[in-house]
Chains A and B, each alone.
Chain A
Amino acid sequence: MTYLGTGNRPDGDVAGGLMEGMIQGTLAGLKDLTKADLQAVARYLKSIPAVKNKIE
């Protein structure tokens, strides 16, 4: 929820690139989602199957 609402990652890093643009948005962005909607997104993401897919 913190990540999508502010771009801050649990490891202290911040979102960059495309995801930064999605969060910041233009006239509005993901940062404007309500707490309830962020919570719903987080609950859904935790409900889908975990996939091991190491990048790089």
Chain B
Amino acid sequence: MGIIAAGALLLLLSAAPAMAATPDEVARGKYIFGATGGCGCHTEPKGPANGGGRKYDGPFGTVYSANITPDTKTGIGGWTDEQIITAIRLGRRPNGERIVPVHPFTSFNGMAEEDLKALVAFLRTVPPVNRAVAPKKITVPMFESVFLPAWLMAFAAKETPPPAAPVSGVARGEYLVRAVGHCGECHTPRSAMTMALDNSRFLAATRRRPGPRARRRPISLPTRRPASATGRRSRS
């Protein structure tokens, strides 16, 4: 009797569909999504959330951020959780193609697995947007075949992700700044020669905005104080 019951239970378990994310996991994912700055590079100003297409010019050419909505044709809806996590933290698409490190996978490399899983669970809840993104235009010869792999070998951070995200104190702050918030990508100077981060000057400010064009509008938060009388905006 006991054996039959155990067998029936096993059969039930194996037939059950993949575990759906719990509301708690989705909420945690949304929080992590916010802690990255809302994955804002993947949303064009006034464009659909996570729909991609934001343009980034670099010394190698032009790339456009990916559609990270669950659309199966133009987004990441057809990818497995593991494939999405690999793209986020290792910069590798399911077809093996390397993602240009404008996507800060060298920082996300240090994110804890549980946070990445929660983030993916949240991304799957965002409305799908059918929106193909323009293909990248690489202008440097042999960039993807030679230079990018060499750069990644030399400079990509090889962080060991913490087994669990730190929950409090300075360790929590470091995790949020270095990994999730990827603050160093803009706030740490880069070598003019190699474009690698100069971590001897970690978070010591940079001259130019390396990211997308500014939106130049005030933040509409209830607690916001009026801007200074001159209307000047800070650069960062």
Contacts and interface: CB of A to CB of B under 8 A. Distances in A.
Tell whether A and B belong to one assembly.
Answer: yes
Interface of A: 5-9, 11-33, 36-37, 39-45, 47-49, 51, 53, 55-56
B217 to A, nearest CB: 8
Given A18-B212, A41-B176, A53-B205, A28 B30 contact: yes
Nearest to A27: B49
A41 B34 CA distance: 14
Contacts, number: 161
B174 to A, nearest CB: 5
Contacts of A29: 34, 37-38, 40
Interface in B165-207: 168-170, 172-174, 176-177, 181, 186, 189, 201-207
Interface in B151-170: 168-170
Listed from nearest, the 6 A-B pairs whose CB atoms lie closest are A25-B38, A44-B173, A28-B34, A16-B233, A22-B37, A17-B214
Could you say which interface size class chain B belongs to?
35 or more
11 contacts: A7-B219, A12-B227, A13-B233, A14-B224, A18-B186, A18-B209, A26-B43, A28-B38, A29-B34, A43-B173, A48-B203
A17 B209 contact: yes
Nearest to A55: B205
Contacts of B206: 55
B172 A37 contact: yes
Nearest to A6: B223
A11 B172 CA distance: 27
B39 interface: yes
B37 A44 contact: no
A17 B221 contact: no
Contacts of A56: 207
